[in-house]
Structure 1
Amino acid sequence: MKKLSFSLLFVSILFSSCSKQLYQVQKANFTENTSINSNLKEDQKMNTMIAPYKLELEQTMDKVISYTPIDLPKDGFNSALANLSCDMVLEESNLIFEQKHGEEIDLCVLNWGGIRRSFTKGDLTVKNVYELMPFDNEVVVATVSGEKIKEMFQFMSNASLGHPLSGIQFISNDENSILINGEKLDLNKNYTVVTNDFLLKGGDQMNFFIDPISVENLNIKQRDIMMQYFEKYDTVQVNLDKRILDK
């Protein structure tokens, strides 16, 4: 049976209000834990206190920011949601990167495990974006060698999951098929890859990101960059082109 140690969490709610009234908090000592079970009754005073904050949060999270005319499944290779996730991160990141450097990012690589749910045709809300990407991962741009892109290709060729890709196409285990934005991979060239800080550290076994030539943090969360994208378009346009051509 789970146990819950009661704490004065309501203090943070009180201090988050616009009021400048000060509250004195005294330490509360409890000798027993409260068991979480069907016999636990709601605290009506607490419910009354948090009700306006709960309502405001629900109104914010339920705001419709876009619409998808098709289902957006996450599973499988080249899935609609995997394609969309990478495409929108690449598009929005390029707006930042081009302004700073006058050039575009070459490609985007994310991870299947970072997509936390699928969507059916219909409205997309603020809450949906948090459900899609609940983590506070930062968007980063890594400059890597052509050899590192080859390592990435080998990893993706043998992966059992359809990791999101954008800006790259290839046939599994066919090195000569690798195209970066329509051009054949040059092992002597450096490429810019937008991803997140979790993968940059080798998360999900993506060790090809370790020891890049350089890294730039765009100082924006992946969730926020996705939010920006959805807010720009009344209706989402999904590119269903295959990135891994034989899957």
Structure 2
Amino acid sequence: MSIKKHIYILTISLFFLGSCTAKYAVVKSNREEYKVSNDVQVDSAIIKTYLPYKVKVDAEMNTVIGYTDVVLTKSSTVPESVLGNFFADAVLNQAKKIEPAIDFVFPTTKGGLRNDIAKGPINVSNIFELMPFENQLVLFNLKGEDVLKVITYIAASNGQPVSGLKFNIKDKSPEQVLINGKSFDITKNYWVLTSDYIASGGDDAVGFATPISRKNIGLLVRDALLKEVKQFQAEGKRINAKLDGRITKN
């Protein structure tokens, strides 16, 4: 595989005006193509420049911040997954420290679960691989009818990672919906936390276009995950996420 690198050689005509102001004009432009492959010799000067930073980054990324007693996997035969439940619960737990009024979270789609986390030690790089994007968490105050749009989208897509929300999917529609353990009331307003990606319609998500209010809570999705794992470690606990029937289907 090669990377095209364009080098432009400019021949400049210099004109002097009575005011001594210089003006420049491009009169010629040439382009050359260089192939980058294993045949290219290593530039020791470049390696010498970046190596100290690479050593520091590698050390930080390889730092163990916690442990999981189970494989955190996104694979599942039901609408929820072990990884999705861990992800959503972690975001809810950490975000509630900032905004206690949150009713439920929908922090990522299934497509946003980038990789599984193996049983055993969890290091920083595992979390960056799971969530490589700089997505922000945004809190929405939504009317009940918009909340229903969100939940209907989740049901129609055969479930998504959520926490604080429980329902059954029947004919691609939600039924028996519970929010914070209470029956959903379409006449009420709810506080729903999601990512800026989902809020902007990512993965065709709906329901966030006309909120009563919205607020960036100042927390990255990835940072919420890091904080959750570190909290488990600080409390001497290991992660033991599981399927718990938060989204069922029949």
Shorter-chain TM-score: what band? Answer: 0.7 to 0.9
Inter-partner Cα distance in structure 2 for 1:6 and 1:137: 33
The corresponding residue for 2:65 is 65
Answer yes or no: is 1:199 the counterpart of 2:198: yes
The corresponding residue for 1:11 is none
Inter-partner Cα distance in structure 2 for 1:52 and 1:30: 37
Q: 2:84 aligns with which of 82, 85, 108?
A: 82
Inter-partner Cα distance in structure 1 for 2:186 and 2:178: 12
More strand by share: 2
- Deviations along 1:170-226, one digit per CA (max 9) or x if unpaired, are 111365411112111001000111111111111111111211111011112111121
Inter-partner Cα distance in structure 1 for 2:196 and 2:211: 12
Rg: which structure is higher? 2
User: Match of 1:97, as an amino acid?
Assistant: E
Shift of the alpha carbon at 1:31?
5.2
Inter-partner Cα distance in structure 2 for 1:67 and 1:30: 56
Inter-partner Cα distance in structure 2 for 1:48 and 1:4: 24
Q: How does 1:39-50 map to 2 (within 5 A)?
A: 39-50=39-50
User: Match of 1:53, as an amino acid?
Assistant: Y
The corresponding residue for 2:152 is 154
More helix by share: 1
Answer yes or no: is 1:169 the counterpart of 2:172: no
Q: Which runs of 5+ in 1 are unaligned?
A: 8-28, 99-103
Q: Secondary structure at the match of 2:98?
A: helix
Over the matched positions of the two proteins, sequence identity in percent amounts to: 31
Q: 1:244 aligns with which of 240, 244, 247?
A: 247
User: Match of 1:121, as an amino acid?
Assistant: K
Shift of the alpha carbon at 1:89?
0.4
TM-score, structure 2 normalization: 0.82
Inter-partner Cα distance in structure 1 for 2:200 and 2:194: 11
Shift of the alpha carbon at 1:41?
2.2
Inter-partner Cα distance in structure 1 for 2:248 and 2:138: 27
The corresponding residue for 1:13 is none
- CA shift in 2, pair 1:55/1:30, >3 Å: farther
TM-score, structure 1 normalization: 0.82
Inter-partner Cα distance in structure 1 for 2:154 and 2:206: 12
- CA shift in 2, pair 1:54/1:176, >3 Å: closer
Q: Which runs of 5+ in 2 are unaligned?
A: 8-28
User: Match of 1:244, as an amino acid?
Assistant: I
Q: Secondary structure at the match of 1:97?
A: coil
- CA shift in 2, pair 1:90/1:204, >3 Å: same
Q: Secondary structure at the match of 2:95?
A: helix
Inter-partner Cα distance in structure 2 for 1:105 and 1:30: 59
Q: Secondary structure at the match of 1:157?
A: helix
Q: Secondary structure at the match of 1:166?
A: coil
Q: Secondary structure at the match of 1:207?
A: coil
Answer yes or no: is 1:106 the counterpart of 2:109: no
- Deviations along 1:122-164, one digit per CA (max 9) or x if unpaired, are 111111111111111111111111112222222122214x420
